[in-house]
């Protein structure tokens, strides 16, 4: 399932390690595995995705088996197991958003960015994908951009253009 796409070993910065350690204090003794999801978010925010060497390093840090990290990273939809564009535009594709035009927005995005869902633009800046309900149906159509998951609501083609221009700066 998982493909090793990057072989270089990874060293986490001391800032990152401090953050990992703070998270572990939220749980009882020996329950440090609970820190796995939040730590994977931090790793992804730092590197843009979670590579196998990064996961191995997380396993080492939490004193769990690498497979325990792989099985989690591959279960949840937010973790990228391969490199993405610098900005990943994630458009909600679920029912309520589609009632007010989400599908047209995705078609438009594909046209403007010139890449298919999941692909990266040649300048490495963008990728896009449809995601399931983002709990913002009253502001539909919506998209989010990690790692802070900033939100863009009531999308129109003009707003998509504007957003792409701003991110290019």
The footprint of another protein (CB under 8 A) covers 26, 28, 31, 33-38, 40-41, 68, 71-72, 75-79, 93-96, 98-100, 131-140, 144, 146-151
130 phi/psi in degrees, rounded to 5: -85, 140
In angstroms, the first-to-last Cα distance of the chain is: 37
Q: How far is the CB of 122 from another protein (least distance, A)?
A: 27
Separation of alpha carbons 57 and 33, rounded Å: 14
Q: How far is the CB of 98 from another protein (least distance, A)?
A: 6
With respect to another protein, which residue has the nearer C-beta, 10 or 137? 137
Q: Find the largest Cα–Cα distance for the chain.
A: 52
Query: Please, what sign has the CA dihedral across residues 93, 72, 67, 21?
Result: positive
Q: How far is the CB of 137 from another protein (least distance, A)?
A: 4
With respect to another protein, which residue has the nearer C-beta, 124 or 147? 147
With respect to another protein, which residue has the nearer C-beta, 24 or 125? 24
With respect to another protein, which residue has the nearer C-beta, 118 or 151? 151
User: Residues near 67 by Cβ (< 8 Å), separated by ≥ 6?
Assistant: none
Q: How far is the CB of 111 from another protein (least distance, A)?
A: 21
With respect to another protein, which residue has the nearer C-beta, 27 or 124? 27
143-145 and 126-131 strand pairing? unpaired
Q: How far is the CB of 2 from another protein (least distance, A)?
A: 14
Residue 129's SS3 state is strand
DSSP character string of 137-160: GGG-S-EEETTTTEEE-S--HHHH
């Amino acid at each position: 399932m998982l493909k090793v796409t990057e072989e270089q070993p990874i060293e986490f910065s001391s800032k990152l390690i401090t953050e990992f350690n703070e998270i572990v204090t939220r749980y009882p003794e020996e329950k440090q595995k609970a820190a796995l999801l939040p730590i994977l978010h931090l790793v992804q925010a730092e590197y843009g995705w979670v590579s196998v060497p990064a996961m191995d390093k997380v396993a080492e840090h939490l004193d769990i088996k690498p497979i325990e990290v792989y099985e989690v990273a591959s279960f949840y939809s937010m973790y990228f197991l391969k490199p993405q564009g610098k900005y990943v535009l994630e458009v909600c594709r679920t029912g309520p958003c589609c009632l007010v035009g989400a599908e047209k927005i995705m078609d438009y995005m594909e046209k403007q960015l010139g890449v298919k869902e999941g692909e990266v633009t040649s300048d490495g800046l963008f990728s896009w994908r449809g995601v399931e309900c983002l709990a913002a149906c009253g502001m539909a159509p919506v998209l989010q951009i990690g790692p802070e998951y900033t939100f863009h609501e009531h999308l129109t083609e003009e707003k998509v253009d504007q957003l792409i221009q701003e991110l290019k700066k």
